[in-house]
Structure 1
Amino acid sequence: MTVGLATSRLESGTPPVWRVPEFVLSLTAASDSTKRAYRSDLRQFAEWASRAGLNVPSDVDRRWLRRYIAFLSVRGLSRRSVARKASALRRYFGWLARQGTIGVDPALGLVAPAGSGRLPRVLGAAEVSEMLGDGTVPNDPTELRDRLVLELLYGSGLRVAELCQLDRGAFRPGSAHIEVIGKGARHRRVPLSEPAMALLAAWRDGGSDEFDGQRLREPAERDPAALLVNLRGNRLGTRDVQRILDRHAATPTHPHALRHTYATHLLDGGADLRVVQELLGHRRLATTQIYTRVSRERLREVYESAHPRA
């Protein structure tokens, strides 16, 4: 039996019986991006289930979940995406079982193909230098904001979501650190590069006000708490950051590549893995260890290109 997805019904939301909004509200330690992803994943599953004649969560058994995972795989989704959707289902049905909505958790131990294992792209030193400029503080307020964004992504290894959530109070004059709210609402203090400190000082000492006065369409509607805003006065979003990177990168580059590059360059320079774990805000050391693999790959590339007997 082949079951498809109907976009129009997805847009109208999930029937209340599935309790998806309540489940999302229960994810108090999850990031906003994780909540959005899980909400979308569960709406898609509920639509698929309804087309299969499964109208309430208690109709779903392990056989149907396995069939759904297989359906996702044949649709051509990446293994990483399928694994995330399986994770959403495990957490969702586990929550329903704890709430007493269902008697048995059908997703207990549900497995899916692991992530692709693809190594992240790492920028070379020349690429980074060209993107970040010569270290001087720009006079143009838009360029100042853009350079500050890029410097925080590479110089401090911030996640895009962490960058967008920065408040004005995250940076104190004279401090060499910035206060960041990471995944799971965990706070950490991240060191700033010298260029970032100079850019932040310039932004604080007039650059932000100049940007608001010259660039904002409606200055009165600016988010008063946000450190960095777009032309509408709202906090920067993922698309805003991507557009900034598109203007400055010589080749197409995802914002997260700057964080990958930050971690890899630290390890290439001899930094301890556990120090890098703390800097990145990873809860598990295993998450950080992917960058040791990246470093080994880079070393191998250098060896093969430079050694005459490679």
Structure 2
Amino acid sequence: MSHFTVYHKDFIEYLQIEKNASPYTVKYYSYDLETFFLFLQQEDIREITEIDQRIVRVYLTKLYDQQLSRKSVSRKISSLRSFFRFLERESYVSSNPFLNVSLPKAQKPIPGFLYMEELEKLFEVNDLSTPLGQRDQVILELLYATGIRVSECQKLTIKDIDFSIGTILVTGKGNKERYIPFGSFAEKAIDTYLQDGRQKLLTKSNNDTEYIFLNARGNPLTDRGIRLVLKKMVEKAALTVHVHPHKLRHTFATHMLNEGADLRAVQELLGHENLSSTQVYTHVTKDHLRNIYLNSHPRARN
């Protein structure tokens, strides 16, 4: 086992145990390290202490030669900076060669969102007399009503729903929990599904699961299953726009901000660690702000 493999293993354990990182985060850190170690092998670098700023510059040149996106390069630099910060903490190295490497500024894409007319078409496509139609309606209602991620939606269990105060308990990234309220439309859809459709789906399987969302065989629905459900809804609604689950999350945030919700409140509802992640949604409300200005400012129009 090479030195690099040992460092890799120790760092991954640190991420999982001390940082409580999600499997998704660990996967990408691991991939970024493996890519870097392969480069070191090609450059005949055998010791971690041989890595200096010259080696870092050569590596960055190779990344840019591969025409990777700014986002991908930034992620790799960030991963390696964290890795060497860990090595420095454990006294494996005396300095962090990635410390002063500037991250390329990524062009933040403006999140796409759905207009109310498009949403209304989606809400009308499900056959609420069938178990799967009831289930699909709940998925749609929750994704839009709460802005949760697909992974968070898939993990919901019956005990996570509190009808008495109209909230769901969501387990997000890094196993961080947050409560999110839901409204009367979502409440009605959930209640109908739990009392009727879900009971019928449970009879298809011997699996007495607590997961809310079940497939046609009565087993827990997967992340991929939820994406397919939404894809079929879009096809039924004959929408020409591309709709993915995250677009419903974008729509939730955009509509909340358009209606005057506080940015900090939306940050908490979305489970964003940094406010900058939430601020990206303010860009898509400029048309709305212009309308408010034109209708409110005394000198905005003749």
TM-score, length basis structure 2: 0.82
| Cα shift readout 1:252-271 (whole Å, capped 9, x = no counterpart) | 22211111111111111122
Correspondence 1:228 to 2:218? no
Helix, strand or coil: the match of 1:139?
coil
Distance in 2 of aligned mates of 1:56 and 1:151? 54
Q: Which runs of 5+ in 1 are unaligned?
A: 1-13, 304-308
Distance in 1 of aligned mates of 2:50 and 2:215? 46
Q: Report the CA distance between 1:209 and its aligned residue.
A: 2.7
**Identical aligned residues as a percent:** 33
Q: Report the CA distance between 1:275 and its aligned residue.
A: 2.0
Correspondence 1:198 to 2:188? yes
Correspondence 1:67 to 2:52? no
Aligned length: 286
Distance in 2 of aligned mates of 1:187 and 1:193? 20
Distance 1:231 1:69, change over 3 A: farther
AA aligned to 1:275 is: A
Helix, strand or coil: the match of 2:104?
coil
Q: CA RMSD in A?
A: 2.9
What pairs with 1:91-170 in structure 2 (closer than 5 Å)?
A: 91-133=82-124, 138-170=128-160
User: Partner of 1:39 in structure 2?
Assistant: 30
What pairs with 1:1-310 in structure 2 (closer than 5 Å)?
A: 15-19=5-9, 20-26=11-17, 28-133=19-124, 138-214=128-204, 219-220=205-206, 222=207, 224-230=209-215, 235-249=220-234, 250=239, 251-296=241-286
Higher mean displacement: 153-162 or 50-59: 50-59
Distance in 2 of aligned mates of 1:301 and 1:34? 41
TM-score, length basis structure 1: 0.81
Q: Report the CA distance between 1:233 and its aligned residue.
A: 6.2
Helix, strand or coil: the match of 1:289?
helix
**Greater Rg over alpha carbons, structure:** 2
Distance in 1 of aligned mates of 2:62 and 2:40? 12
Distance in 2 of aligned mates of 1:41 and 1:235? 32
Helix, strand or coil: the match of 1:226?
coil
Distance in 2 of aligned mates of 1:106 and 1:267? 41
Q: Report the CA distance between 1:17 and its aligned residue.
A: 4.8
Q: Is the 8 A contact 1:138 1:144 kept in 2?
A: yes
Distance in 2 of aligned mates of 1:130 and 1:56? 60
Helix, strand or coil: the match of 2:57?
helix
Q: Is the 8 A contact 1:79 1:113 kept in 2?
A: yes
Distance in 1 of aligned mates of 2:68 and 2:25? 18
Higher mean displacement: 163-172 or 25-34: 25-34
Q: Report the CA distance between 1:76 and its aligned residue.
A: 2.5
Q: Is the 8 A contact 1:246 1:252 kept in 2?
A: no
| Cα shift readout 1:165-198 (whole Å, capped 9, x = no counterpart) | 2222100344311111223322211011222111
Distance in 2 of aligned mates of 1:66 and 1:290? 31
| Cα shift readout 1:214-238 (whole Å, capped 9, x = no counterpart) | 4xxxx23x48242224457665443
| Cα shift readout 1:47-68 (whole Å, capped 9, x = no counterpart) | 2222222344333223323332
Helix, strand or coil: the match of 2:102?
coil
AA aligned to 1:60 is: I
Q: Which runs of 5+ in 2 are unaligned?
A: 294-300
User: Partner of 2:296 in structure 1?
Assistant: none
Q: Report the CA distance between 1:290 and its aligned residue.
A: 1.3
Helix, strand or coil: the match of 2:162?
coil
Distance in 2 of aligned mates of 1:41 and 1:76? 16
Helix, strand or coil: the match of 2:144?
helix
Distance in 2 of aligned mates of 1:109 and 1:55? 23
Q: Is the 8 A contact 1:263 1:291 kept in 2?
A: yes
Higher mean displacement: 186-195 or 229-238: 229-238
Distance 1:21 1:113, change over 3 A: same
AA aligned to 1:161 is: S
Q: Is the 8 A contact 1:223 1:229 kept in 2?
A: no
Helix, strand or coil: the match of 2:96?
coil
